[in-house]
């Protein structure tokens, strides 16, 4: 049968569309975004405790090895003391990954990106999907603790390819953190702001982690800490460091960009 020019055109459009579909963000993420946004915003439209926990869960899934969902899939969340405060969010994110048939690893990073954006002044970081899940647990004791001094934290981050500047920028996520008693690590936990750096250095925050006090007062990191008190300096350091952490151990080239889902959710 001879093809007409219109059927040739149709064939070309179908081929092109097929190619485009493979590269574009799966539409299910728009549905997930609406669910997550409802879950992560408090009544006054700021980030809530689930958002805080999700931001932290991103670090705890990625840093010990790879952003591979093992925090949830290998039960690191329930089995390790360092994750005790995240058992609830692990359950929520794991259930959503199953419900929507997306990778648990992607779901954890999506929770963090949405959690950050849900906070007042929170940046919209890039979000990509396609991470490969793993149910094999990573080696233990890789995440520095609340009493780790600056040298210990710097060594742990350097071992994973992060500079001191990236470390200091990343712990700025504590701008929105609360401790196990519910006390916040700066006076504005609903705001993604640099009050955390100022108040930690001045020791005037409602509570401070010794680990953050060490970064603020040790010679290896104190000048970097002070530089982060400038909001532009912090956001310019935080965003690329967080994006780098969110794909640890994964092949970036095989991931598909879904950043538009975050920007559309908080337009
Ligand atoms: C050396 C680096 C870090 C150390 C030692 C550290 C330590 C801690 C500790 C001990 C807590 C719990 C506070 C308490 O219960 O008293 C905490 C909470 C938190 N951390 Fe970190 N952290 C580090 C890096 C990060 C990074 C890289 C992120 C994310 C980018 C992050 C995000 C959070 C958040 C959002 C919370 C609050 C969780 C909530 O309120 O439920 N932390 N961190
Ligand atoms: C879930 O997604 C995978 C690919 O990511 C697909 O092979 C599978 O058929 C999907 N399952 C359902 C129930 O849609
Ligand atoms: C730095 O902070 C730590 C943790 O609070 C404290 O133990 C130490 O004495 C401080 N060092 C200096 C030089 O202020």
Three-state secondary structure readout of 160-204: CCCCHHHHHHHHHHHHHCECCCCCECCCCCCECCCHHHHHHHHCC
Chain centre to alpha carbon of residue 255: 16
Q: How many residues does the chain have?
A: 267
| pLDDT value at residue 4 | 44
User: What parts of the chain have a pLDDT lower than 50?
Assistant: 1-21
pTM beyond 0.85: the answer is: yes
* Predicted confidence (pLDDT) per residue in 106-130, tens digit: 999 999 999 999 999 999 999 999 9
Tokens 């350097």: give the residue: 158
| pLDDT value at residue 45 | 82
Using the mean position of ligand 2's atoms as its centre, give its distance from the Cα of residue 101 in Å. 6
| pLDDT value at residue 267 | 85
| pLDDT value at residue 86 | 97
Closest atom of ligand 1 relative to the 144 alpha carbon: 5
Question: Do 153 and 211 form a contact (C-beta atoms < 8 A)?
Answer: yes
- Protein residues with CB under 6 Å of any ligand 3 atom: 210, 213-214, 217
Q: Which long-range contacts (CB under 8 A, 24 or more apart) does 137-141 make?
A: 137/70, 137/74, 137/75, 137/76, 137/79, 138/64, 138/65, 138/66, 138/70, 138/74, 138/76, 139/64, 139/65, 140/64, 140/80
| pLDDT value at residue 10 | 44
Using the mean position of ligand 1's atoms as its centre, give its distance from the Cα of residue 255 in Å. 27
């Amino acid at each position: 049968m001879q093809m007409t020019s219109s059927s040739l055109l149709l064939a070309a459009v179908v081929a092109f569309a097929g190619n485009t579909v493979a590269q574009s963000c799966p539409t299910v993420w728009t549905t997930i975004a609406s669910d997550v946004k409802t879950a992560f915003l408090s009544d006054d439209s700021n980030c809530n405790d689930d958002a805080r926990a999700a931001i932290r869960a991103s670090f705890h899934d990625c840093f010990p090895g790879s952003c591979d969902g093992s925090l949830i899939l290998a039960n690191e969340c329930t089995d390790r003391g360092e994750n005790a405060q995240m058992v609830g969010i692990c359950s929520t994110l794991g259930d959503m990954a199953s419900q929507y048939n997306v990778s648990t690893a992607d779901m954890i990073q999506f929770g963090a990106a949405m959690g950050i954006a849900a906070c007042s002044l929170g940046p919209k970081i890039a979000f990509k999907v396609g991470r490969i899940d793993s149910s094999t647990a990573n080696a233990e004791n890789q995440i520095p603790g609340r009493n780790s001094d600056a040298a210990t934290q710097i060594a742990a981050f350097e071992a994973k390819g992060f500079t001191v500047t990236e470390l200091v920028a990343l712990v700025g996520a504590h701008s929105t953190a609360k401790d196990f008693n519910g006390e916040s690590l700066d006076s504005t936990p609903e705001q993604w702001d640099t009050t955390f750096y100022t108040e930690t250095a001045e020791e005037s925050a409602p509570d401070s982690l010794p680990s953050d006090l060490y970064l603020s007062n040790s010679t290896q990191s104190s000048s970097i800490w002070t530089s982060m008190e400038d909001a532009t300096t912090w956001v310019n350091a935080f965003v690329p460091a967080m994006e780098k952490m969110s794909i640890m151990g994964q092949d970036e080239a095989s991931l598909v960009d879904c950043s538009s889902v975050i920007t559309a959710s908080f337009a």
